Amino acid sequence: MQLFLGCAWLGAPAVPINISAKAPQVRYYLEDAGARLLVIEHALLAGLRDLDVSGLALDCIWIVGERGSIGLNGIKCVALPDLGPAAASTTVRPSDTVAIMYTSGTTGPSKGVCCPHAQMYWWGVNTADVLEIDANDVLSTTLPLFHTNALNCFAQALVTGATQIVEPRFSASRFWSTLIARRATVTYLLGAMVPILLSRDPSPEEKRHTVRIALGPGAPAKLHEEFFERTGIRLLEAYGSTETNLAIGGVIRDQRNGTMGRVRPGFQALVVGPDDIAVASGEPGELVLRADEAFSFATGYFGMPEKTVEAWRNLWFHTGDRVACDEDGYFRFVDRMKDSIRRRGENVSSYEVEQVLHSHPAIEIAAVFPARSELAEDEVMAAVVIRAGEKLSPEELLNFCEPRLPYFAVPRFIEFVDDLPRTESGKVQKFKLRERGVTTATWNREAAGLRLKRS
């Protein structure tokens, strides 16, 4: 965080890079951002051996955790310098970019989200407000600092005077002991982490901690009560993205299970159809957002004016998320627009199918996504991870789904897998599943001669 604050002090945008990125992706980030300096831990240096530095603006590489200097592909590499006298600060405006956060591109190059100083401030203010954080809190996160979530956690600490602790990575086996040792009061979980933790055998450590609340966007609604009963921790739902802010959500006592909450003061939200016209209450559509406070959202995509205009058209940021809003103003997540499945004239929410699959006691986690059929249209496919020691056949899973889902939403294709492709923060990478599609290991309901009741 010293480096991040140093960049902010100098008015130089920081560009956090995913530590799993390979040389071609690293080159893309460095070239796209015009980076002059790269700072990297010594343990990750080997990943740069194949980095093509030709044409890059890169002048130097600072190495964390190693003394001395070396050369790498013609670029000078030196140890991270010791702290010296404070450099003169630069006058920074709220609109100036403090960080360029690269999204994970699925259909094209990753987009660099330009996050201004004001956005980071409002991230801290809004999230600290819904988590009811004060100076006595200890915020413990296992999420990586190249994602918005952990930087948001840092902003919460800055605006409240709370203490932030950043762990190297998420570990289900060490999660509870770490919280106990750190005396944490607040922690942060992404959706997939909750079923992973609950899939483990209960232990006394789950209630020996001092954590009172966890920000847990995307955690399956059915698991909230089970998680609270086992751990004593309430999971708080909310909505935000790298481009926006915590625009939807509220304090835990106002939460309604299965919803993200209501739009927060200082923000506006609409659910719209294809022509950006608001849909009726309860009807699904795309979530669009805008903010009252200047620069509390990202200012656009770095070097991509066309993508910026497309996303912010009609003066609303188009999230790409399909949601519904009830008469009381509570928003419910339905699906990512690109993950929605259109099967023979019917819209299928992959999220809602996943909720049914996750309710099966033998299933640890599942991902539902569209697969192409011989009719060149979408079919529902599920990749399923079975809990250790459990057994489940496709036919048994089919029988479980039939009474719980409309016939058109019951998966045609089922594949049992050892694990799902994930990001470092545990989020399932559905685009990899879509790209892989049906394999020789996939069970096909129609090939098995099984028919569903149309009810």
pLDDT digits (tens, 9 = 90+) for 326-379: 999 999 988 778 777 877 656 677 877 888 899 899 999 999 999 876 655 688
Structural domains for the chain: 2-87 (no CATH), 340-444 (3.30.300.30)
* Helical residues (DSSP H) of 18-168, grouped into ranges: 23-33, 117-131, 148-160
Mean pLDDT of 122-145: 96
Q: Which of 312-326, 339-353, 415-429 has the lowest mean pLDDT?
A: 339-353
Residue 103 pLDDT more than 60? yes
Residue 420 pLDDT more than 70? yes
108 versus 121: the higher-pLDDT residue is 121
Residue 214 pLDDT more than 50? yes
Task: Output phi, psi for 397, to 5 deg.
Answer: -65, -40
Residue 425 pLDDT more than 60? no
Query: What per-residue confidence (pLDDT) applies to 386?
Result: 96
> pLDDT band at 428, cuts 50/70/90?
confident
> pLDDT band at 114, cuts 50/70/90?
very high
Backbone conformation region of residue 82, classed left if phi is above 0, alpha if psi is from -120 to 50, else beta: beta
Residue 455 pLDDT more than 60? no
Overall size of the chain counted in residues: 455
Query: What per-residue confidence (pLDDT) applies to 303?
Result: 95
Classified as helix, coil or strand, 101 is strand
Query: What per-residue confidence (pLDDT) applies to 69?
Result: 66
Query: What per-residue confidence (pLDDT) applies to 289?
Result: 98
83 versus 126: the higher-pLDDT residue is 126
Query: What per-residue confidence (pLDDT) applies to 107?
Result: 44
Separation in Å, CA 103 to CA 107, 166, 372: 12, 22, 26
**Unique residue bearing structure tokens 């801290």:** 124
Token representation of residue 285: 């559509």
Token representation of residue 292: 């009252």
**Unique residue bearing structure tokens 């600060």:** 89
Nearest Cα neighbor of 447 from 413, 401, 403 is 413
Token representation of residue 217: 């966007």
Please give the share of the chain, as a percent, with pLDDT higher than 90. 64
350-358 helix and 394-401 helix, angle to the nearest 10 degrees: 110
Give per-residue pLDDT as tens, 172-199: 999 999 999 999 999 999 877 888 899 8
Q: Which of 71-80, 135-144, 147-156, 180-189 has the lowest mean pLDDT?
A: 71-80
Query: What per-residue confidence (pLDDT) applies to 106?
Result: 42
Query: What per-residue confidence (pLDDT) applies to 25?
Result: 79
Nearest Cα neighbor of 261 from 290, 284, 239 is 239
Mean pLDDT of 36-63: 89
DSSP code for 298? -
> What's at 141, amino acid-wise?
T
Nearest Cα neighbor of 436 from 386, 371, 357, 367 is 371
Mean pLDDT of 218-228: 89
In contact, 219 and 235? CB cutoff 8 Å? yes
Classified as helix, coil or strand, 116 is strand
* Helical residues (DSSP H) of 19-86, grouped into ranges: 23-33
The mean pLDDT of the chain is 90
Residue 100 pLDDT more than 90? yes
